[in-house]
């Protein structure tokens, strides 16, 4: 019997988890290893600012799949382990602690990392941001009814955290330099509706003003804005965005094997011979894009790129056609949907 193809997936988020499960189900000629630096099974982040934060959804409901499903499919889980080096020439990854793992195919699904807060005073106690289940738990522990919170940033996460904390009975003030929440993505009309919705639920909005510094003793006590407002608080939650976690992909790129995906989430066949970028860490390009290509960060992208592409990339048999097409929403053979080739 032929030795199974060794597929290593780096990144145990939604994209990595889905990829591993999909490969386990469809690619019977592969042995899959999933390496993730978080200690948990792959989980979905959307509840962290919504039901999980409000205490209405247990963490188990956010799991991409229960542990038994990975076991059933023979997927090796290496959780709480970080990959620190890639060597594409010898097809090896090195983990923290110096363990080395060989692969035939590598999928990088390292997602995003929190953007660092650069305001003076951001290192005080009581200043939180939100990416992981532990972050959400910290905010939940601070979120007692009647406490005052300042939410920095009114993107999706800032809006959701503001709404959740207000629902829990906190006194919420949210600040953003833009004239309305989410105005850049949704336009002024919808952004205006969202602003009114927040106000009608008692969220104080400070718009058109940015954060200058965070003041207090050991703990944060107030946010001082650029225009000099002083927003007294018991704690702060920042939702100021993420940066793609592309350190490993860059290593591949410097080795001449760039992980590039187009707007349609296509990637070049040569790349697929042993590297396929998935998830939020992927660069997407459009024919019209100038300068830095845009990145598309959402649950949908993380979910759909990986439920389809890796199987097509590695399977030597014709893959099943039961997945949902990211282009049309209808089922069609994997190969028809993604211009990919097996090596």
Ligand X SMILES: Cc1cc2nc3c(=O)[nH]c(=O)nc-3n(C[C@H](O)[C@H](O)[C@H](O)COP(=O)(O)OP(=O)(O)OC[C@H]3O[C@@H](n4cnc5c(N)ncnc54)[C@H](O)[C@@H]3O)c2cc1C
Q: How many CA atoms lie within 13 A of 96 on its CB side?
A: 9
Q: Which of 8, 9, 86, 110 binds ligand X (CB under 6 A)?
A: 110
Q: Which one, of 119, 116, 115, lies nearest residue 231 by Cα? A: 119
Asked if 201 contacts 172 with a C-beta cutoff of 8 angstroms, the reply is: no
CA distance linking residue 160 with residue 212, whole number of Å: 23
**Would you count residue 111 as binding ligand X (CB under 6 A)?**
yes
Between residues 16 and 24, which has the closer beta carbon with respect to ligand X?
16
Per rule CB under 6 A, is residue 13 in the interface with ligand X? Answer: yes
Q: Quick check: helix, strand or coil at residue 247?
A: helix
Question: Does 194 engage in binding with ligand X (CB under 6 A)?
Answer: no
Nearer to ligand X, 9 or 220 (CB): 9
Q: Which of 248, 259, 265, 272 binds ligand X (CB under 6 A)?
A: 248
Q: What angle do CA 30, 36, 28 make, to 5 degrees?
A: 10
* Residue 249 binds ligand X (CB under 6 A): no
User: Comparing C-alpha atoms, which of 251, 252, 250, 261 is closest to residue 304?
Assistant: 261
Q: Which is nearer to ligand X, 42 or 121 (CB)?
A: 42
Q: Using the rule CB under 6 A, is 294 a contact of ligand X? A: no
- Least Å distance, CB 108 to ligand X, is 9
- When asked if residue 130 is in the footprint of ligand X (CB under 6 A), the reply is yes
Question: Nearest approach, Cβ of 232 to ligand X (angstroms)?
Answer: 26
Rounded CA-CA distance 156/318 in Å is: 40
Return the residue of 22, 221, 234, 245 that touches ligand X, per CB under 6 A.
245
297 binds ligand X (CB under 6 A): yes
* By the rule CB under 6 A, 11 interacts with ligand X: yes
Q: Residue length, the chain?
A: 343
Question: Contact at 8 Å (CB) between 222 and 126?
Answer: no
# chain residues binding ligand X, by CB under 6 A = 33
Strands 235-238, 148-152: pairing kind: parallel
Contacts of 58 (CB under 8 A, 6+ apart): 52
Which parts of 311-340 interact with ligand X (CB under 6 A)? none
Q: Which stretch binds ligand X (CB under 6 A): 205-213, 221-229, 256-264, 292-300?
A: 292-300
Is residue 302 close enough to count as binding ligand X by CB under 6 A? yes
Are 95 and 35 spatial neighbours (Cβ–Cβ below 8 Å)? yes
- Residues in the site for ligand X, rule: CB under 6 A? 10-16, 35-38, 45-46, 48-49, 82-83, 109-112, 130-131, 157, 245, 248, 279-280, 297-300, 302
């Amino acid at each position: 019997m032929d030795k199974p193809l060794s597929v290593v997936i780096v990144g145990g988020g939604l994209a990595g988890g889905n990829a591993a499960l999909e490969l386990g189900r469809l690619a019977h000629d592969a042995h899959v290893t999933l390496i993730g630096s978080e200690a948990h099974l792959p989980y979905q982040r959307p509840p962290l600012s919504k039901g999980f934060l409000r205490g209405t959804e247990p963490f188990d409901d956010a799991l991409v799949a229960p542990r038994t499903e990975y076991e059933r499919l023979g997927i090796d889980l290496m959780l709480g382990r970080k990959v620190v080096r890639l060597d594409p020439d010898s097809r090896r990854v090195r983990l923290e602690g110096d363990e080395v793992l060989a692969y035939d195919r590598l999928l990088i699904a390292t997602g995003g990392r929190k953007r660092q807060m650069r305001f003076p005073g951001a290192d005080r106690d009581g200043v939180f941001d939100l990416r992981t289940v532990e972050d959400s738990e910290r905010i939940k522990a601070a979120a007692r009814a009647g406490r005052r919170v300042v939410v920095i940033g009114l993107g999706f996460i800032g809006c959701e955290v503001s709404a959740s904390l207000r629902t829990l009975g906190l006194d919420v003030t949210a600040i953003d330099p833009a004239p309305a929440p989410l105005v850049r993505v949704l336009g002024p009309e919808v952004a205006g509706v969202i602003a009114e919705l927040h106000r009608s639920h008692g969220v104080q909005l400070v718009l058109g003003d940015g954060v200058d510094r965070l003041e207090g003793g050991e703990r944060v006590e107030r946010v001082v804005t650029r225009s000099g407002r002083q927003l007294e608080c018991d704690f702060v939650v920042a939702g100021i965005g993420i940066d793609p976690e592309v350190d490993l992909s860059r290593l591949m790129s410097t080795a001449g094997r760039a992980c590039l995906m187009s707007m349609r989430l296509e990637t070049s066949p040569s790349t697929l011979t042993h590297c396929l970028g998935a998830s939020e860490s992927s660069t997407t390009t459009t024919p019209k894009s100038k300068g830095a290509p845009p990145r598309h960060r959402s649950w949908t992208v993380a979910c759909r790129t990986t439920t389809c592409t890796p199987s097509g990339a590695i399977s030597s048999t014709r893959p099943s056609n039961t997945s949902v097409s990211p282009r049309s929403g209808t089922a069609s053979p994997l190969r028809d949907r993604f211009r990919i080739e097996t090596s």
